[in-house]
Each structure stands twice: as C-alpha cells, then as structure tokens.
Amino acid sequence: MGTATPKQFLTIGDVPLILHCLLVFERAPSVSQVILVVPENERERTLADVIKRYDIKKVLRVVAGGVTRQESVYEGLKASDPEADIVVVHDGVRPFVTEDLIERSIAEARHTGGAIVAVPMKETVKQVGADGHILCTIDRSSLWLAQTPQAFRRALLLEAYERAKSERFDATDEAGVMERFGHKVAIIPGRWDNIKITTPEDLQMAEAILRIHPRAVNNVAR
C-alpha cells in the first residue's frame, strides 16, 4: 500500500477497515468470540482505538501475529477456545464481509469439515512463458478466486497447521494447508464486492462501494 499505517487501520467511511469487519462478526449469530491477530506493535492501539473506543464485545483476545499469514493464523488458532467446534478465519482488510457469508461458511464447515468463500473467475486466463509470450489459454470454467471467510473444524485445522509447521510448508490461505494434508474443502459462492484492500486503487473502490451501499458502520460514534 505504501503507507506507514498498517492496512487494517486505514479508513473507509472515516473508520478503520478492521472495524468494518468486527461489527459484522459482532452481529453474526453463530460467532461467539473473536481472536484478533495484529502486529505486536499495534496491540495497544487496537485495544484502545478500536476495541474499547467502539465497545466491541466479542473480542476475547488481541494476539501478536507472525511474519507470514500462516504464522499469524496459527497464533490466533492457538489462542482460540479449545472447546470450539468451528473456527472462522477472515482477512482484516476485507471490509465488506456479510453476516450471510459468515453463517453459510460455518454451516458448510459443520457439514463437511471445511469451506471457503470464493467467486468464479470471469476473465480469460493466459499462461505466459519467461519470454513474455502466451503459452496457452486456460479453461476458466473450473477456476475460482478464493476469498475469506474460511471456516473449518478447529481440530482439523489445528492439526494441519501443526503438521505444516513441522514440515516447513507454507500456503497463502487456510484451504491450501488443508489441501496439503488431504482434507476436502467446499466452496461457498461469495460476492464480488467482498474485496481485499491491497492497493490505493482498492481503497478508492471501497469508498465507492460504501457510498453506493451504506452500512451500519456509518452510524457508529467517531
């Protein structure tokens, strides 16, 4: 993003991205508690400027993450309630998650053991060689773009993460870890506005989405 501020603390609608996510999880009926994973040097700011300021009730702990996404998720997973049946992992920079996406992913994970939100690929996909020329056009009919939330049985995900750590295997999402060790993961059709904020253009798009579809977060006390 090119800013000194961590992405999850950038604002849309004048409040942090992370707050947009937290308020949806606050309202989700099947979510009983939230473990928030942030950089070590952002824990105090998170507690003061987000959790306490906006009176977020479901956050049980704010824990320090690791160097990679996988390390951070593992820290959050270890801090979660051992009695929990299902855990849900969500990117703090996907501010347009909905209660419906959360609830459907949890329901599918209860049924199958694991599920992720994803959208089908729309664009034509080209495989390109080292020389910059097209090698082939890939059939997109079976290709999906992974999003979050991603929900799994806690015991299965924790075991997979522990095995991944021992084998020094690193994946870019939770489903990748589960796939590595033979677990099937279901797809829940997602939403195209469930975008991940990674560039300045994404931030502009998020502001536009918020103007078109105002959310309850617009009414929280600043």
* Strand-pair category, 144-153 with 86-89: antiparallel
Name the residue with tokens 């942030």.
Answer: 38
DSSP state of 38: E
pTM across the whole model: 0.93
pLDDT tens string 158-183: 999 999 999 999 999 999 999 999 99
pLDDT of 2: 62
Q: Which of 1-15, 55-69, 103-117, 191-205 has the lowest mean pLDDT?
A: 1-15
pLDDT of 98: 96
